[in-house]
Structure 1
Amino acid sequence: MHHTAINPDIRRLIGDGTVIPAHPLALDANRKLDPRRQRALTRYYLDAGVGGLAVGVHTTQFAIRDVGLYRPVLELAAETAAAWSKRPLALVAGLCGPTSQAVSEAKIALSIGYHAGLLSLAAMKSASEDEIIAHCEAVAREIPLVGFYLQPAVGGVLLSADFWRRFASIDNVIAIKVAPFNRYKTLDVIRGVCAAGALDRVTLYTGNDDHILLDLTLPFDVRLGQETVRAHFRGGLLGHWSVWTASAVRQFEQCRAAQTERSIPADLLALDARVTDCNSAFFDVANDFHGCIAGCHEVLRRQGLLEGIWCLDPHESLSPSQSTEIDRVLREHHDLSDDAFVAENLERWLG
């Protein structure tokens, strides 16, 4: 499917930029899918005001493919969203593995009704940039692509600005999630998209959980010869936004207003540090992100959305002292939470 075939309202939503949380996986004590709580999470995100859902991505756990849950989890999110809300919603499916696997997953996602695929390149670590571009072109022939610059600490591949120029030149690329957690590498992506002349088609989404609000407020100037091109992050596709999502939507609207008014309040810039502090606990930065998925689960468990923090891998859990760090940020930044919103609606979402 070419991106021009996407429902115009949804294509415009993706292009303008929106809030897209990376959807977690709700498991029971036997590490089996808990459909009731999986549906509750989807309903929570919709009522929080998100513009899209990313399912089958890192936060959903890539291992869902190994236990036969890829299609069921994608179907459950799509069906729940369609039944719960009639407003436009961008559905993004995670795609990974070698070319044959990624193409197969793209076909599955399209058959369910997903609009785009977020393409992980973690399986291409030993490939050249030419080989990776060929891989991306093959998957883009099946589904509109959202690029994914994932940080190396959790499996990402280091790529050049020229790679991103070539990637952005692929006609069916509609967005890039920029998540290297590195300002130099972030600029490489922006430079690449600008050099490709693709800013009108390729929307920049931040995945930099260490600088979410700064990415969403600051302009980025790129020099192309004697010309200056100004770029902006228009939205976010973030694991961090799988928690405290109603608050994240409000923050996103503040950033959007600041961009529109071309006046960025100092308090909004300062808020970036507080959000990053929360992320440091949720994503277990002290232990090289080992507990990043479990940390998000723990926040959702404390709110009652999840029953436990179980992951498919029994060795994947909170790191020592991570719970204490989560205690700290919940205490110090409680005003950034959406605990009251969740408490008010939890019974309805679980119903």
Structure 2
Amino acid sequence: MGLHHSQLDPDLLARFRRGAVIPAHPLALDAERQFDRRRQRALTRYYVDAGSGGLAVGVHTTQFAIRDHGLYAPVLSAAIEDSRAWTDRKLFMIAGIAGQTDQAVAEARTAVELGYHAGLVSLAPMKGADTDRLIAHCERIANEIPVIGFYLQTAVGGIELPVDFWRRFAAIDNAIGIKVAPFNRYRTLDVLRGVAAAGAEDRITLYTGNDDHIVLDLLTPFRVQRDGEAVSLRFRGGLLGHWSVWTRTAVQLLERIHEVTEEGRPVEPGLLALDSRVTDCNAAFFDAANGFGGVIAGCHEVLRRQGLLQGLWCLDPDEGLSPGQAAEIDRVYAAHPDLSDDAFVQDNLERWLS
């Protein structure tokens, strides 16, 4: 047996369970598409100082192709080394886990060796596998590291996962959370029904990955039926590519939501209205108009404008902004200036790049 959630720092696990801002960490490259260590360090420092509760590294926003370029261990190592060198505050570190079972188990072992606390399991490479095989795959990984399920939207390679899969996943002893990111309300409810059916609502912490519906996911009390009785579930935090940009205001937003939900206060219309405003920004960053073709480059573009990245370069030279996407980013910058954290970045950029 590898790392079990009972071995984690109780305070750190409690912060994960309360809910945190966990950015999906991008990959900094130079003009030759080589790993830009200085800019990668600056990004990590930015997320730490913005108040993030953790980091997710080696995930979709980091680019799954790091595995083909020998960058998986170096990128994971950089994030944990840089965060620990920058702050005494403990962050909940999540490693992306992908590939067929042997590869995924090897990645989980690497993550544990580097000091990561959990693995976010992408099932995209398992397309075509039935539920029995998918669960066996997750159980093998859970023998190595606490696991977080990942419902990735089909538009970027995810597979449909039924209620029964989520029921069986939630029953895995070393499963601690699920990132719910199908960008689909019906499939989102499938996850919640599965968790409730497993009786795991107190052990499985739900994180929204629905970048198109962030605020309402976090504000909504979800109720599903189990044995004729209502079970209440909530999303506690966000593990989001969207929160790789404008992260300081995301932290402030989640703090505001926690105050409302934990105290049982009425939700103000202005807070509800933020759902559509944040989604409008996400449509530009994630390139919704073009089927999410520019999703990673869009986040890079925001970070480039702020000075954190030098360019938009992705490992795939054909990956970049879609036609019209830069103009859409211009539009949301102008429409929602209070949602950006440009001033915060400018005040600290030189220090982060030092």
What interval of TM-score do these two structures reach, taking the shorter chain for normalisation? over 0.9
SS state of the match for residue 190, structure 1?
Answer: helix
Amino acid in the other structure paired with 1:269: L
For residues 134 and 342 of structure 1, the distance between their equivalents in structure 2, rounded to whole angstroms, comes to 44
The CA deviation string for residues 103-130 of structure 1, in whole angstroms up to 9 with x for no partner, is 0000000000000000000011110011
Corresponding position of 2:162: 160
Corresponding position of 1:278: 281
Tell whether 2:337 aligns with 1:310. Answer: no
Find 2:92's aligned residue among 90, 101, 109: 90
Find 2:348's aligned residue among 336, 345, 349: 345
By how many angstroms is 1:225 displaced? 2.4
Cα contact 1:121–1:156 (8 A) shared by 2: yes
Cα contact 1:9–1:88 (8 A) shared by 2: no
Find 1:189's aligned residue among 188, 191, 194: 191
- Mean CA deviation greater in 144-153 or 4-13: 4-13
For residues 109 and 267 of structure 2, the distance between their equivalents in structure 1, rounded to whole angstroms, comes to 42
For residues 206 and 189 of structure 2, the distance between their equivalents in structure 1, rounded to whole angstroms, comes to 11
For residues 163 and 90 of structure 2, the distance between their equivalents in structure 1, rounded to whole angstroms, comes to 33
For residues 233 and 51 of structure 1, the distance between their equivalents in structure 2, rounded to whole angstroms, comes to 15
Tell whether 2:54 aligns with 1:52. Answer: yes
By how many angstroms is 1:226 displaced? 2.0
Map 1:206-217; keep pairs closer than 5 Å. 206-217=208-219
Corresponding position of 1:106: 108
Gaps of 5+ in 2: none
Corresponding position of 1:132: 134
For residues 168 and 233 of structure 2, the distance between their equivalents in structure 1, rounded to whole angstroms, comes to 18
SS state of the match for residue 160, structure 2?
Answer: coil
The CA deviation string for residues 159-185 of structure 1, in whole angstroms up to 9 with x for no partner, is 111110000000000000000000000
For residues 88 and 42 of structure 1, the distance between their equivalents in structure 2, rounded to whole angstroms, comes to 13
- What TM-score comes out, normalization by structure 2 length? 0.98
Map 1:8-47; keep pairs closer than 5 Å. 8-47=10-49
The CA deviation string for residues 77-110 of structure 1, in whole angstroms up to 9 with x for no partner, is 0000001011121000000000000000000000
Percent of residue pairs identical: 66
SS state of the match for residue 223, structure 2?
Answer: strand
Cα contact 1:258–1:265 (8 A) shared by 2: no
- Mean CA deviation greater in 4-13 or 204-213: 4-13
Corresponding position of 1:246: 248
By how many angstroms is 1:303 displaced? 0.3
Corresponding position of 1:174: 176
Find 2:293's aligned residue among 281, 290, 294: 290
SS state of the match for residue 199, structure 1?
Answer: coil
Amino acid in the other structure paired with 2:130: S
SS state of the match for residue 109, structure 2?
Answer: helix
The CA deviation string for residues 39-91 of structure 1, in whole angstroms up to 9 with x for no partner, is 00000000000000000000000000101100000000000000101112100
For residues 74 and 36 of structure 2, the distance between their equivalents in structure 1, rounded to whole angstroms, comes to 12
SS state of the match for residue 316, structure 2?
Answer: coil
For residues 183 and 256 of structure 1, the distance between their equivalents in structure 2, rounded to whole angstroms, comes to 22
By how many angstroms is 1:232 displaced? 0.3
By how many angstroms is 1:264 displaced? 1.1
SS state of the match for residue 33, structure 1?
Answer: coil
For residues 88 and 273 of structure 2, the distance between their equivalents in structure 1, rounded to whole angstroms, comes to 36
- Mean CA deviation greater in 11-20 or 139-148: 11-20
Amino acid in the other structure paired with 1:271: L
Cα contact 1:291–1:316 (8 A) shared by 2: yes
For residues 258 and 193 of structure 2, the distance between their equivalents in structure 1, rounded to whole angstroms, comes to 22
Corresponding position of 2:331: 328
Tell whether 2:97 aligns with 1:118. Answer: no
By how many angstroms is 1:13 displaced? 1.3
For residues 77 and 133 of structure 1, the distance between their equivalents in structure 2, rounded to whole angstroms, comes to 29
For residues 229 and 335 of structure 2, the distance between their equivalents in structure 1, rounded to whole angstroms, comes to 45
Gaps of 5+ in 1: none
By how many angstroms is 1:224 displaced? 1.1
For residues 321 and 236 of structure 1, the distance between their equivalents in structure 2, rounded to whole angstroms, comes to 28
- Mean CA deviation greater in 8-17 or 303-312: 8-17
Amino acid in the other structure paired with 2:225: R
By how many angstroms is 1:255 displaced? 1.0
The CA deviation string for residues 239-274 of structure 1, in whole angstroms up to 9 with x for no partner, is 000000000001111111111122211111111000
- What TM-score comes out, normalization by structure 1 length? 0.99
The CA deviation string for residues 205-230 of structure 1, in whole angstroms up to 9 with x for no partner, is 00000100000111000111221111
By how many angstroms is 1:11 displaced? 1.1
Runs of 4+ in 1 over 4 A off after TM superposition: none
